[in-house]
Amino acid sequence: MPSMPLQVPTEPFIDGDASAHLEELINGTLPSVDVVPELGTGVDVELVGPHLRLSGTIGLGRFRRLSDLVNHHDGLIGLRNATILRRNGTATRVTAPTIWVSPAEVTLIGELSRGTPPEAPPEFRIRKDPLDLVFVTPGHTLTGQVHIVEGGQFAAFIESNDPQFIALSEARTRSLADRRIIARYTFALLNRRHIVATTVLAPEMARGRTVL
């Protein structure tokens, strides 16, 4: 029996990038996304994982901050007005009123419109020291600034299992699959379960330039 020739795709695909495969499923015009906002504050975010990048809005509900919601939420999180992005951050045609995402599979949650966060009551304020770090994850290298309780030990902070998502200021990421792809977020949450390696950023390692 003669062998059948393999079909070679005519469109280029990026290995490991789910957006190309999801966009291939579209054979018509998707309905426009028109979602009634939920009660409470919504935060515009990007969710970045090793093979998937999305943008949309997360409703905070009863929580005051995004970090509080993410670190106290069980199960999937609903991302409203969602758009699947290509690895470089450009939008695809794949949209949905809501996409539910597993936080465990998300490396980074970056806020797109960082306003002035609400201040905690004085009795809940804790003095913290800033510390610049560099991280390696399965899909990215990152630099960013964490804040550790004044007088605390970095080793104790980084070796802990909680909270699952670490707050980062001035986060900068570079894709390991394509080093030309760089993203910056004024505020982001990093999944500590995705940290392959990390260290304090030495003065000789220019943050956001030499390392990444």
Q: What is the pLDDT of residues 126-144, one digit of tens each?
A: 778 899 999 999 999 999 9
**168 close to 99: Cβ distance less than 8 angstroms:** no
Checking if the pLDDT of 108 tops 50, the result is yes
Checking if the pLDDT of 174 tops 70, the result is yes
Residue ranges, CATH 2.30.30.100, the chain = 18-111, 124-200
Neighbouring CB atoms inside 10 A of 176's CB total: 14
Distance (Å, whole) CA 48 – CA 125: 30
Checking if the pLDDT of 115 tops 70, the result is no
Q: C-alpha 192: how far from its chain's center?
A: 12
Please give the CATH topology (third level) of the domain spanning 18-111. SH3 type barrels. (2.30.30)
Distances (CA, A) of 30 to 23, 94, 189: 11, 8, 31
The confidence score (pLDDT) of residue 4 equals 47
pLDDT, tens only, 12-27: 445 567 777 677 766 6
- 54: helix, strand or coil: strand
Which residue's entry shows tokens 């894709």? Answer: 175
Checking if the pLDDT of 183 tops 60, the result is yes
Assign 9 a pLDDT band (cuts: 50, 70, 90): very low
Assign 84 a pLDDT band (cuts: 50, 70, 90): very high
DSSP labels, 159-201? H---SSEEEEEEEEEEESS-TT-EEEEEEEEEEGGG-SEEEE-
Distance (Å, whole) CA 45 – CA 25: 25
Top pLDDT among 23 and 75 is at: 75
Query: What is the mean pLDDT of the segment spanning 61-82?
Result: 92
The confidence score (pLDDT) of residue 20 equals 72
Average pLDDT score, the chain: 83
Query: What is the mean pLDDT of the segment spanning 84-106?
Result: 93
Note the pTM of the prediction, 2 decimals: 0.81
- Which CATH number, 3.40.50.1370, 2.30.30.100, 3.30.70.20, 3.40.30.10, labels domain 124-200? 2.30.30.100
Query: What is the mean pLDDT of the segment spanning 92-97?
Result: 92
The confidence score (pLDDT) of residue 105 equals 93
Top pLDDT among 17 and 163 is at: 163
